[in-house]
Each structure stands twice: as structure tokens, then as C-alpha cells.
């Protein structure tokens, strides 16, 4: 009979905490950067508007996502596993 080993409490805690932390960085970091860029680049020109910050947040998020995809495409194992067989699950359905 095969014995299975269950995960401990700390393993489950960090398994949940790490993705939530990285996901919150994707939300918080672009906002912090857009506020900083708004203060640094265009001081006193009325760029405290919501559309300005939403546009800048969106551009920063697109840059993060593009950079992430580019970074994982540089790895040989990721190129084979992720980018070659991505459509396989849709074909099987």
C-alpha cells in the first residue's frame, strides 16, 4: 500500500500567500509607479486626474505582462512546454 504524505500547515500557507503577494504587486506597483511618475515628470500641470493615472497604470501593466512573457520565453524548457502545446487543451475539448 502506498503512503501519501500530506502537506503541512506552513506549506499550504506559503502556497496561498506567494501568489496573492505577487498578484497584489501587479495591482499596487503600477499605481505607485504612476503616482511617482506623475509627480516627477509633470509637476503642477493638473495630472492628478483619474483618467491620467488609469492610462498610465494600464501602460505599466501591459509593460509588466509583456516583460514577463518575454522573460519566460527565454528559458528553453518554457519555450517547449508553454508555447508549443498551449492550444492542445482546446483541441481536445
φ and ψ at residue 60, rounded to 5 degrees: -70, -40
pLDDT band at 85 (very low <50, low <70, confident <90, very high): low
- What is the enclosing helix (H) or strand (E) of 24? helix 9-41
- What is the enclosing helix (H) or strand (E) of 26? helix 9-41
> What are 53-76's pLDDT values in tens digits?
888 889 999 999 899 888 877 876
Inform me whether the pLDDT recorded for 86 exceeds 60. Answer: no
Inform me whether the pLDDT recorded for 20 exceeds 60. Answer: yes
What radius of gyration do the chain's Cα atoms show? 20
Q: What is the pTM of this model?
A: 0.61
| Residue % of the chain over a pLDDT of 90 | 9
| Residue % of the chain over a pLDDT of 70 | 70
Helix axes 50-73, 9-41, angle to 10 degrees: 130
Amino acid at each position: 500500500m502506498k503512503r501519501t504524505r500530506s502537506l503541512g500547515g506552513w506549506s499550504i500557507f506559503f502556497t496561498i500567500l506567494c501568489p496573492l503577494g505577487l498578484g497584489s504587486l501587479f495591482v499596487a506597483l503600477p499605481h505607485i509607479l504612476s503616482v511617482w511618475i506623475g509627480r516627477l515628470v509633470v509637476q503642477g500641470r493638473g495630472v492628478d486626474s483619474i483618467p491620467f493615472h488609469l492610462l498610465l497604470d494600464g501602460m505599466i501593466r501591459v509593460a509588466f505582462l509583456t516583460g514577463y512573457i518575454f522573460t519566460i520565453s527565454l528559458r528553453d524548457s518554457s519555450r517547449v512546454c508553454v508555447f508549443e502545446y498551449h492550444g492542445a487543451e482546446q483541441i481536445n475539448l
